[in-house]
Amino acid sequence: MKAHTANLLNALTLILMSAWGYLASETPSITAFIPAVFGVILLACNGGVKKENKVVAHIAVVATLVALLGLGMALKGVIGRGADPMAMFRVGAMIVTSIIAMVAFIKSFRDARIAREAGNK
Tens-level pLDDT at each residue, the chain (121 residues): 999 999 999 999 999 999 999 999 888 889 999 999 999 999 999 999 999 999 999 999 999 999 999 999 989 988 888 768 898 999 999 999 999 999 999 999 999 899 988 877 6
Around Cβ 107, how many Cβ atoms within 10 Å?
A: 14
Query: How far is it, in rounded angstroms, from Cα 93 to Cα 106?
Result: 20
Amino acid at 58: H
Sign for the CA dihedral angle at 31, 20, 36, 83 comes to: positive
Query: How far is it, in rounded angstroms, from Cα 3 to Cα 79?
Result: 31
Distances (CA, A) of 107 to 11, 96, 111, 116: 19, 17, 6, 14
Q: Which of 16, 18, 58, 60 lies closest to 42 in space, CA to CA?
A: 60
Q: Is the pTM of this model over 0.75?
A: yes
